[in-house]
């Protein structure tokens, strides 16, 4: 199977090359996207085969100058191939349906390369190949983020994304170097033979957290996500959110669980838990305040990545405290959420993309009432939204429930400070989950319910064909994954053994449980109960309703009739995106997101109206940048002066540089 | 072969002569004298090449010598004189850096070249080492001349004298293919021709060869 996957990576790279001429015609673009659909299916099948079969390793006959490129497929990488394959297949299918003519080459060429980079990262078995894949993934996705570079905000997003990608790659290179030590052997087998200890372990963890964490969107390195996701095409943001953050989490898990060896102290998990909790809360809160659908979903991704990081950190702590069963529980929750989040977030981004295509806007304040015009999209998105809000019996609930069970068992680690921290993390995770539910209600309610806020939203049109399939498949998967979490945990067992040294606590096939005799969750039973309750309500309403349906005008809350120039009603009579988020902004935003609100009152005698101004900004970017922008500005101003030099002065600069180099050489020789 | 042997001494003398003429180029105040000094440098270079051809037994170097003599010693100086006459230029050299400071800088550059080359080429033949140090000095002095003169003709001469240094380095090293030498020489000659054409254009437009006047006409000024 590994051979097939390696050949697939090669084929994807070749497809990227061939995409240049193919982009000239619609048929060629469709061919490229169809190839990527097939690649996604093969990747997911490869993941399944890797989980069911055994591990495999392969040495390529070529590679870096000092040795062969090593590749391997084990349980952990197989598990991460599943979300990658599903996300790529659905997103490519969506893109396939959206091709209506020649596609710009800069949008088509990087797409297969992006997929190939992610697959290579998962298959790598030495530091060099890992970094190669990771950087290919970063660069290809950067090109895709920058595809619409006519707009200044997209250019800014791409620039910030590139800086973060470069920073992450640098941190990972340093981490690999630190793992390799003096010998300089970057094979994973060599890493495992000499696991770092003490300060080296802490340094590797910090570097991996900075490198993989910045890619995954862990706070405080999450700032690029809400900027880059809206800038990329919809199918790309779906994969960036659904799969690329997971690949980064895979790198994190590969380092801390596998390469750094099992003999690590429990406190190594603490930074992961802390950063995860912070990301979860900030992401969920921002998701409640953003007014752009894709930005909102990107913030929700930060929240989910935070939850997964909490799971990974707990697993690490439990393993260090010699509690393998609990470690497996936490790791199982994290792995399950990786898969579930990949599926439902891909679905939600694709739905947002379809809304953008149909109603021509990403701004919530320009949408509304789309369930009438885009029923397939609306109902598919409802499945994803319910999963993201962690409603039983959908997929998000199962994994978040398991995570909460693991958090509630954190007192079993016998360190008081850790117990206190875990209790705080539990509270923060619960808060984040509730905030995420609120954000999802806001997203789906404002976009799909109510009345259209603009004529364009009233005339939205839904695509059929491949796009519809691309929405229905992940929606069905979201429901199915929610119903059989026990089966998925069984499937993940080899990966859990690799990470935690034990299998997850077994319940029966249809249930998941925290421990023997502990809490249990039977999703199918819950689904049956929920279905029965809904059926009862529907039946009662039908029974008591008068025969025949009469449609009347929507009640406008007592506002006066809309003026003639607003045939679709006054938008102000519906809640706006900012208005819906106002209570949360006032409650939590002021301290966490520097939210502000003020009334600009004109002086007496001025005829301008008073204006209520409100907004927020994430302080993370400014804090990360520090004085760097000012220094760059000063440096650029100085460098600008070079342009005014005369020809003679330019020659003199060259001459001076040559003389300086010669002097340096003479000095070095003289020493 | 070292100090005291005839081949070494003569090669050393000729190389030193080329370097000396670079200094002569630096302190001339009249453009006609600059051109004459350049012609002498070309002639000395041709002699050095011929001597090396005789010592190394490489007949290719005789060709280099003949070419250097014909081009550097005769044709280019004649052409430059003709240009100066035709354009009726000021016969003085307009310097950007004074004569005295340029000479001091030149001495410093020669010292630097010796400091760099002698330790770096340890183990090579003494002749090659001395030759390389002399050649690097000539190259650096040519560059210095290019930046310390305002007149386009002087700048072109600086470039050509820089190329003399390159040839001096090439002939000192045994086994350097003739093709490399010739192509380098041809390249620099082409650059000189282009520069001459530009000089004519500049003269036509601005009535001067002082490149300083070009700066007022640059685009993208802030």
Domain end position, chosen among A529, A545, A567: A529
Mean pLDDT lowest among A27-41, A256-270, A280-294, A437-451: A256-270
Is pLDDT of B1 > 60?
Answer: no
Q: Does the residue A598 lie in any domain?
A: no
- A578 domain residue, yes or no: no
Chain B CB within 8 Å of residue A606 CB: no
Instruction: Answer yes or no: is pLDDT of A548 > 80.
Output: no
The CA distance from A296 to A278, in Å, is 17
**Closest partner CB to A659 (pick from B112, B215, B221):** B112
Does residue A504 sit in the same domain as residue A642? no
* CB of A659 less than 8 A from some CB of B: yes
The DSSP call for residue A344 is H
- pLDDT value, residue A125: 92
Cβ-Cβ contacts under 8 Å, B113 against chain A: 662
CB contact under 8 A, A646 and B212: yes
**A655 and A508, same structural domain?**
no
**Predicted pLDDT of residue B131:** 81
Q: Which long-range contacts (CB under 8 A, 24 or more apart) does B69-75 make?
A: B69/B42, B69/B43, B71/B42, B71/B185, B71/B189, B72/B38, B72/B39, B72/B41, B72/B42, B72/B43, B72/B45, B72/B46, B72/B160, B72/B164, B73/B39, B73/B40, B73/B42, B73/B43, B73/B46, B74/B39
Q: Are A71 and A33 in contact (CB under 8 A)?
A: no
pLDDT at A436 > cutoff 70: yes
Reported as a pLDDT band with limits 50, 70 and 90, residue A389 is very high
Note whether A292 and A419 are same-domain residues.
Answer: yes
| A515 and A385 fall within a common domain | yes
CB neighbour list of residue A181: distance below 8 Å, 6 or more residues apart:
A194
pLDDT at B3: 60
Q: Are residues A523 and A643 in the same domain?
A: no
The answer, for A516 touching chain B at a CB cutoff of 8 Å, is no
From chain B, pick out residues whose CB is under 8 angstroms from the CB of A640.
222
Which of residues A513, A529, A545 is at a domain's end?
A529
pLDDT at B203 over 80: no
pLDDT, tens digit, 9 for 90 and up, residues B145-177: 888 887 777 888 888 888 888 888 888 776 666
Specify whether the CB–CB gap between A362 and A297 falls below 8 A: no
Q: How far apart are CA B222 and CA B220, in angstroms?
A: 6
Assigned domain for A109 exists: no
A671 to chain B, any CB pair closer than 8 A? The answer is no
The answer to the question of residue A553 being in a domain is no
Residues in chain A within 8 Å Cβ distance of B146: 651, 655
pLDDT of residue A235: 94
Q: Residue A285, class by beta-carbon neighbours within 10 Å (0-12 exposed, 13-18 middle, 19+ buried)?
A: buried
Q: Does residue B82 sit at the A interface (CB-CB below 8 Å)? A: no
From the list A648, A655, A662, the residue facing B211 with the nearest CB is A648
Number of domains present in the structure of chain A: 2
Instruction: Fill in the DSSP letter of residue A292.
Output: B
Q: Do A649 and A506 belong to one domain?
A: no
Beta bridge pairs of residue A56: A73
| Stretch 142-181 of chain B: residues touching chain A, C-beta under 8 Å | 143-144, 146-147, 150
Higher pLDDT, A557 or A168: A168
Would you state the pLDDT for residue A40?
A: 96
Query: What integer is the mean pLDDT of A495-510?
Result: 79
Measured between alpha carbons, how far is A385 from A381 in angstroms, rounded to an integer? 6
Confidence of residue B222 (pLDDT cuts 50, 70, 90): very low
Least confident range of A54-68, A221-235, A567-581, B156-170:
A567-581
Closest partner residue to B116 (CB to CB) among A644, A655, A665 is A665
| Mean of per-residue pLDDT scores for chain A | 89
What pLDDT sits at residue A36? Answer: 95
Range of lowest pLDDT (A77-81, A298-302, B146-150): B146-150
Q: Distance of CA A528 to CAs A385, A392, A480, A619, Å?
A: 20, 11, 14, 45
| Domain assignment of residue A278, yes or no | yes
Mean pLDDT of A499-526: 77
| Closest approach of A630 to chain B, Cα-based (Å) | 21
- Does the distance separating the beta carbons of A644 and B147 come in below 8 Å? no
Mean pLDDT calculated for residue range A411-426: 90
For B108, which residue in chain A has the nearest alpha carbon? A659
Look at residue A576 and tell me whether its pLDDT is greater than 80: yes
The answer to whether the Cβ–Cβ distance between A666 and B222 falls below 8 Å is no
How far apart, in whole angstroms, are the C-alpha atoms of residue A531 and residue A538? 10
Same domain for A358 and A476?
A: yes
Instruction: Assess if residue A502 is contained within a domain.
Output: yes
Query: Percent of chain A beyond pLDDT 70?
Result: 97
- Which range has highest mean pLDDT (A229-233, A626-630, B195-199)? A229-233
A655 touching B (Cβ < 8 Å): yes
Residue B216 in this model has a pLDDT that exceeds 90? no
Residues A639-663: what's their mean pLDDT?
Answer: 84
Q: Is B217 in CB contact (< 8 Å) with chain A?
A: no
Instruction: Write down which residue in A481, A514, A529 finishes a domain.
Output: A529
Residue A121 has a pLDDT of 95
- Residue among B112, B147, B212 minimizing CB distance to A655: B147
CA A279, A283, A286, A290 torsion-angle sign:
positive
A110-123 and A245-253 helices cross at what angle (nearest 10)? 20
Contact A647 B221 (CB under 8 A): no
Lowest mean pLDDT among A104-113, A643-652, B104-113: A643-652
Distance (Å, whole) CA A119 – CA A130: 10
Which residues lie below 8 Å from residue B133, measured CB to CB, with a gap of 6+?
A: B113, B114, B117, B118
Which residue in this structure is represented by tokens 């994304």? A161
Contact list in B for residue A645 (CB cut-off 8 A) is: none
Determine the pLDDT at residue B86: 79
Domain residues for the domain of A377 are 265-529
pLDDT at A561 over 80: no
pLDDT given at position B4: 65
Q: For the whole prediction, is pTM greater than 0.90?
A: no
Question: For residue A570, what pLDDT is reported?
Answer: 66
Which of A562-566, A613-617, B211-215 comes out lowest in average pLDDT? B211-215
Is A222 within a domain?
no
H helices present in A217-267, as ranges: 224-231, 234-239, 245-253
Residue A512 and residue A661 in one domain: no
Contact A662 B221 (CB under 8 A): no
Using an 8 Å CB-CB cutoff, list chain B residues near A658: 140, 143
By Cβ distance, the residue of B112, B146, B222 closest to A651 is B146
Any domain includes A277? yes
Domain shared by A500 and A643, yes or no: no
Distance from B41 to chain A by nearest Cα, in Å?
22
- In chain B, positions 29-68, which contact chain A (CB-CB < 8 Å)? none
Could you read off the pLDDT of A463-493 as tens digits, one per residue?
Answer: 888 999 999 999 999 999 999 888 888 899 8
Interchain CB distance below 8 Å, B116 and A662: yes
């Amino acid at each position: 199977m590994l051979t097939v996957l390696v050949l697939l990576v090669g084929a994807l790279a070749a497809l990227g090359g061939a995409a240049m001429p193919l982009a000239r015609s619609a048929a060629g673009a469709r061919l490229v996207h169809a190839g990527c659909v097939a690649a996604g299916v093969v990747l997911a099948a490869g993941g399944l085969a890797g989980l069911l079969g055994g591990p495999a390793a392969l040495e390529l006959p070529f590679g870096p100058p000092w040795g062969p490129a090593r590749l391997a497929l084990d349980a952990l990488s197989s598990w991460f191939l599943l979300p990658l394959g599903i996300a790529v297949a659905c997103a490519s299918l969506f893109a396939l349906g959206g091709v209506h003519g020649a596609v710009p080459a800069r949008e088509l060429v990087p797409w297969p390369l992006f997929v190939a980079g992610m697959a290579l990262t998962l298959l790598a078995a030495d530091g060099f190949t890992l970094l190669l894949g990771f950087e290919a993934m970063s660069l290809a996705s950067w090109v895709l983020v920058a595809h619409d570079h006519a707009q200044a905000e997209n250019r800014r997003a791409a620039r910030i994304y590139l800086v973060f990608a470069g920073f992450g790659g640098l941190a990972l290179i340093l981490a690999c170097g630190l793992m390799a030590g003096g010998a300089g052997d970057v094979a994973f087998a060599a890493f495992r033979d000499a696991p770092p200890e003490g300060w080296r372990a802490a340094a590797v963890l910090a570097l991996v957290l900075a490198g993989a964490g910045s890619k995954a969107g862990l706070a405080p390195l999450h700032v690029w996500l809400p900027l880059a996701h809206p800038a990329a095409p919809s199918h790309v943001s779906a994969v960036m959110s659904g799969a690329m953050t997971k690949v980064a989490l895979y790198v994190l898990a590969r380092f801390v669980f596998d390469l750094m060896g099992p003999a690590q102290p429990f406190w190594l998990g603490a930074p992961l838990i802390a950063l995860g909790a912070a990301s979860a809360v900030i992401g969920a809160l921002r998701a409640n305040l953003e007014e752009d659908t894709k930005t909102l979903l990107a913030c929700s991704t930060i929240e989910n990545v935070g939850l997964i990081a909490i799971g990974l950190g707990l697993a690490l702590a439990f393993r260090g405290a010699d509690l393998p069963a609990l470690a497996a529980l936490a790791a199982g929750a994290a792995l399950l959420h990786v898969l579930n989040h990949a599926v439902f977030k891909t679905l939600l981004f694709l739905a947002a993309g379809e809304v953008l295509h149909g109603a021509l806007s990403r701004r919530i304040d320009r949408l509304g009432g789309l369930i009438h015009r885009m029923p397939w999209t609306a109902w598919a998105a409802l499945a994803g939204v319910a999963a993201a809000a962690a409603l039983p019996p959908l997929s998000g609930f199962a994994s978040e429930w398991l995570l909460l069970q693991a958090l509630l068992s954190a007192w079993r680690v016998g360190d008081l400070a850790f117990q206190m921290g875990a209790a705080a993390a539990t509270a923060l995770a619960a808060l984040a989950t509730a905030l995420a539910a609120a954000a999802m209600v806001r997203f789906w309610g404002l976009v799909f319910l109510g009345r259209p806020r603009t004529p364009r939203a009233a005339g939205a049109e839904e695509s059929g064909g491949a796009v519809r399939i691309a929405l229905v498949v992940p929606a069905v998967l979201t429901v199915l994954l929610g119903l059989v979490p026990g089966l998925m945990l069984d499937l993940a067992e080899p990966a859990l053994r690799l990470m935690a040294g034990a299998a997850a606590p077994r319940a029966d096939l249809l249930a998941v449980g925290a421990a023997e005799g502990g809490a249990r969750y039977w999703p199918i039973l819950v689904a049956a109960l929920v279905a029965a309750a809904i059926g009862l309500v529907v039946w009662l309403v039908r029974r008591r309703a008068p025969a025949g349906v009469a449609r009347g005008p929507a009640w406008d809350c007592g506002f006066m009739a809309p003026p003639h120039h607003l045939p679709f009603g006054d938008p102000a009579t519906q809640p706006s995106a900012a208005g819906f988020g106002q209570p949360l902004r006032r409650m939590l935003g002021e301290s966490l997101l520097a939210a502000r609100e003020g009334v600009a009152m004109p002086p007496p005698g001025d005829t301008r109206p008073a204006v209520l101004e409100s907004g927020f900004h994430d302080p993370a970017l400014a804090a990360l940048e520090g004085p760097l922008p000012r220094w760059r500005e000063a440096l650029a101003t100085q460098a600008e002066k070079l342009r005014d030099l005369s020809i003679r002065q330019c020659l003199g600069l060259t001459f001076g540089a040559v003389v300086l180099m010669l002097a340096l050489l003479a000095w070095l020789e003289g020493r | 072969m070292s100090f005291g042997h005839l081949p070494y001494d003569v090669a050393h003398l000729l190389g030193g002569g080329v370097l000396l003429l670079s200094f002569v180029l630096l302190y001339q105040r009249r453009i006609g004298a600059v051109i004459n000094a350049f012609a002498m440098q070309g002639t000395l270079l041709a002699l050095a090449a011929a001597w090396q051809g005789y010592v190394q037994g490489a007949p290719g170097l005789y060709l280099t010598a003949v070419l250097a003599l014909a081009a550097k010693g005769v044709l280019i100086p004649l052409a430059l004189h003709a240009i100066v006459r035709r354009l009726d230029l000021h016969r003085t050299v307009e310097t950007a850096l004074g004569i005295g400071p340029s000479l001091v800088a030149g001495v410093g550059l020669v010292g630097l070249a010796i400091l760099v080359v002698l330790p770096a080429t340890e183990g090579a033949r003494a002749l090659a080492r001395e030759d390389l140090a002399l050649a690097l000095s000539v190259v650096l002095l040519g560059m210095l001349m290019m930046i310390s003169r305002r007149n386009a003709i002087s700048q072109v001469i600086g470039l050509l004298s820089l190329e003399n240094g390159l040839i001096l380095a090439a002939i000192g090293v045994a086994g350097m293919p003739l093709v490399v030498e010739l192509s380098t020489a041809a390249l620099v000659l082409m650059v000189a021709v282009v520069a001459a054409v530009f000089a004519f254009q500049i003269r036509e437009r601005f009535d001067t060869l002082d490149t300083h006047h070009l700066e007022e006409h640059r685009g993208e000024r802030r």
